[in-house]
A and B are shown apart, each in its own frame.
Chain A
Amino acid sequence: METRELITSSLEALSLNKTRTALATLGIIIGIAAVITLLSLGQASQKSVETQIQALGSNLLTVISGSIRPGDFRSASGTATTLVLDDAKAILTSSKVIGVKNVSAEIQRREAVTAGRKSINTTVVGVMPSYSEVRNVEMQWGGFFTEAENNSLAKVAVLGPTVATDIFGDVSQTIGKSIRINKIAFTVIGVMTSKGGGGFGGNQDDTVLIPLLTAQKQLFGVDYVGSVSVEVSDAQAMDSVRDQVGYLLIDRHNIADPANADFTIFSQADVLSTLSQVTGAFTALLSGIAAISLLVGGIGIMNIMLVTVVERTREIGLRKALGATKRIVISQFLVESTILTIAGGVLGMILGIILSYIISKLLDLPFVINPLSVLLAVGVSGAIGIIFGWYPARKAANLQPIEAIRYE
């Protein structure tokens, strides 16, 4: 029998029982789509976390006031007031700390920001001019404030894109406009480029940056800082710089026992590894669910193939009685299962990718499709479909024709 005849005859056999064909295809589609979607979701969330943390700037150490010890969060960030601007300056200039490229001290509070009749609550951060370099700030409009503006307590502000949009609507028209923070007027001199996402330290798009000295003296009335960002010149030097900064601050704060330090230093790597553990567990969970879907989908395919085995066995007996050889019968069933599997595989793949795309858009995640997971899903479901289409056919083809015809 020619290949073309074989395929035609297989297609005819498939159209003989449309319900069976549809159910088998559906089993394959669902199995594959579920696996692709779940694995894509897991990988997307992992990638999203990594991207957000990298957006904060690599080679970054953060010193916050207060200590975070396991099981003791009472003296955590914000409550202690021991970290001061001079600490930041010392980190940059001290001969005991080698490998620091730049330092920025920051203090932040939630404040009401108003312009005209518009008022929003946002995070106001007092930062040093070096902040723009340390935190990789890019400007969409205007510029960042200077050392002179910081020293002269200038009332200037750089807006995050979310704040700018919320207050003024049209971002391009904000430069030179006036906003009021806690009733004090500030002039907008720049708007930052969006970095997107949240990550550690809140959403950077939803902040207002003002000079540190202005914030301390005019707005908050304090002389301490909340945190110090340290940009390390070389990623290799992260650990040594961290230790040196630690010893310097212990020394400066006159702390006898390092266990009682009134500050905490952490790197992006620390945050990354903590969050990676969380997302890793999440991905493992989703992979587990995906594996179960694969199993369930596979069992579904298998069932549909096996449920019709009585009818198919009789059909095979009849075909053999009419002169079909074993090889022709098995080839026909193999071709049938392959057609089913390819059709279901392609549809399942498309459905899985579409579902992944929709969910990633809904959850604001990056859209990630790993070819390996697609291959895995299609491979396993396909193999199950083909094996369980072929195996009963082979068994039936080995029977005497009359035994197959009378099969019950």
Chain B
Amino acid sequence: MIQVSHLTKIYKTDGAETLALDNVSFKVKKGEFVAIMGPSGSGKSTLMHVLGALDSPTSGEYFLDGEEIGKLTDDKLAEIRNKMVGFIFQSYNLLPRTTALKNVMLPMLYAGIPKEQREEKATKLLEEVGLSDRINYLSNQLSGGQQQRVAIARALVMNPKILLADEPTGNLASVQGEEIMAIFKKLNKAGNTILMITHEPEIAKYAKRIIHLKDGRITDGN
């Protein structure tokens, strides 16, 4: 599903170069649930952004479901982000002052799906993450856990090949975090491929495989 080889990312800020990813190679098979762990500054977020086509690598190859992401045009990348990847952010990143339903419908809008189908699918997914009574709440009226569940519904709405989660429980209390992980476990059981960043061992244990990163290199788990 995911094949990464010799991936390198260098940030340039005011002349200084930061090596965020240093020759990273690994594979993820369909249906896997992988946790990426590492101290802050280890490059795990950068890796996740490259995998989610939110950022481009400096060098190296990245195949997602057989397609080489590095060679794609801007519009094609937008389509990859829209249809292939479901991204879940640590800080949820919902549209402010917008209902849960509209937030979940947004990716389908860009895919050109008709409004009735958008509403139907979004409602179904919000029910699945346990928010059937919060469908028309504005994003800022929801708790952190509820917002993250809206974000999960939004990530799933286009039936992506992989789910990428960047510290999905990082801003949540442990009870809410466990609720989110329960959803992840269920999704993985249903056949979804999941990659998740975390620095909490008790969250990482939900995954079937753990990749450790340090200073931009994989130290363990490949």
- Residues on A with C-beta less than 8 A from B127 are none
Task: Please give, as numbers and ranges, the residues of chain B lying within 8 Å of A323 by CB-CB distance.
Answer: 78-79, 81-83, 107, 110-111, 158
Q: In the complex, are the beta carbons of B54 and A321 less than 8 A apart?
A: yes
A16 in contact (CB, < 8 A): yes
Task: Verify A321–B109 contact, CB threshold 8 A.
Answer: no
Are A328 and B56 within 8 A (Cβ)? no
Report the minimum CB–CB distance from B167 to chain A (whole Å): 14
Q: Which of B64-72, B94-102, B176-184 contacts A (4 or more CB under 8 A)?
A: B94-102
CB contacts (< 8 Å) of A315 on chain B: these are: 95
How far in angstroms is the closest Cβ of chain A from B176? Answer: 22
Give bound CA distance, A339 to B153, whole Å: 32
Q: How many angstroms between the C-alpha atoms of A373 and B130 in the bound complex? A: 59
Query: How many angstroms between the C-alpha atoms of A328 and B109 in the bound complex?
Result: 11
Is the Cβ of B52 less than 8 Å from the Cβ of A321? Answer: yes
Contact B112 A320 (CB under 8 A): no
Shortest CB-to-CB span from A280 to chain B, Å, is 53
Q: Quick one: closest A residue to B86, CB to CB? A: A322
What A residues does B106 contact at CB under 8 A? 319, 322
Q: Is B82 a contact of A1 with CB atoms below 8 Å?
A: no
| Residue A235 at the chain B interface, CB threshold 8 Å | no
- Per-residue interface assignment for chain B, residues 29 to 58, with 1 indicating a CB less than 8 Å from any chain A CB and 0 otherwise: 000000000000000000001001011100
B202 in contact (CB, < 8 A): no
CA distance A325 to B76 in the complex (A): 9
Interface flag for B149 (CB, 8 Å): no
What per-residue 1/0 map shows which CB atoms of A320-351 lie under 8 Å from chain B?
A: 11111111100000000000000000000000
What is the chain B residue whose CB lies nearest that of A325?
Answer: B78
A320 to chain B, nearest CB (A): 7
Q: Choose among A5, A320, A325, A405 the residue that contacts B109 (Cβ–Cβ < 8 A).
A: A5
Count, chain B residues at interface, CB 8 A? 29
Chain B nearest Cβ from A403, distance in angstroms: 7
- Which of B74, B89, B96 makes the CB contact (< 8 A) with A326? B74
Provide the bound-state CA to CA distance between A403 and B79, in Å.
19
Q: Given A1-B109, A328-B110 in contact, is the A403-B55 Cβ separation under 8 Å? A: yes
Closest A residue to B106 by CB, please name it: A322
Bound complex: CA A402 to CA B109 (Å) = 21
Interface presence of A136 (CB below 8 A): no
B56, B78, B82, B111, most chain A CB atoms within 10 A: B78
* Interface residues on chain A, number (Cβ under 8 Å): 24
Q: For the complex, what is the distance from the CA of A322 to the CA of B112, rounded to whole Å? A: 13
List residues of chain A with CB within 8 A of the CB of B93: 318, 321, 405
Residues of A within 8 A of B87 (CB): 321
Q: Report if A402-B110 is in contact (Cβ < 8 Å); known contacts: A16-B96, A320-B78, A326-B74.
A: no
B78 near A402 (CB under 8 angstroms)?
no
Q: Which residues of A contact B52 (CB under 8 A)?
A: 321
Instruction: Look across to chain A and name the residue whose beta carbon is closest to the beta carbon of B50.
Output: A402
Could you mark each residue 51-73 of chain A with 1 if its beta carbon is under 8 Å from any beta carbon of chain B, else 0?
A: 00000000000000000000000
Q: Which residue of A lies closest to B111 (CB)?
A: A323
Kindly state whether residue B217 has any CB partner on chain A within 8 Å.
no
> Contact mask A380-408 → B, CB, 8 Å, 1/0?
00000000000000000000111101000
Judge if A94 is at the interface, Cβ distance under 8 Å. Answer: no
Question: Are A1 and B102 interface neighbours, CB within 8 A?
Answer: no
A12 interfacial contact with B, CB 8 Å: yes
A16 to chain B, nearest CB (A): 5
A320→B77 CA distance, assembly (Å): 10
Q: How far is the CA of A186 from the CA of B47 in the complex (A)?
A: 107
The 16 sampled A-B contact pairs (Cβ below 8 Å) are A16-B97, A17-B97, A315-B95, A320-B81, A321-B93, A322-B82, A322-B107, A323-B78, A323-B79, A323-B107, A325-B75, A326-B75, A328-B110, A401-B54, A402-B54, A405-B54
Q: A322-B82, A402-B55 are in contact. List 5 more A-B contacts (CB 8 A).
A: A320-B78, A321-B52, A321-B54, A322-B110, A323-B82
Ranked nearest first, the 9 interchain pairs of A and B with the lowest CB-CB distance are A323-B82, A402-B54, A323-B110, A325-B78, A401-B54, A402-B49, A322-B107, A402-B55, A324-B110
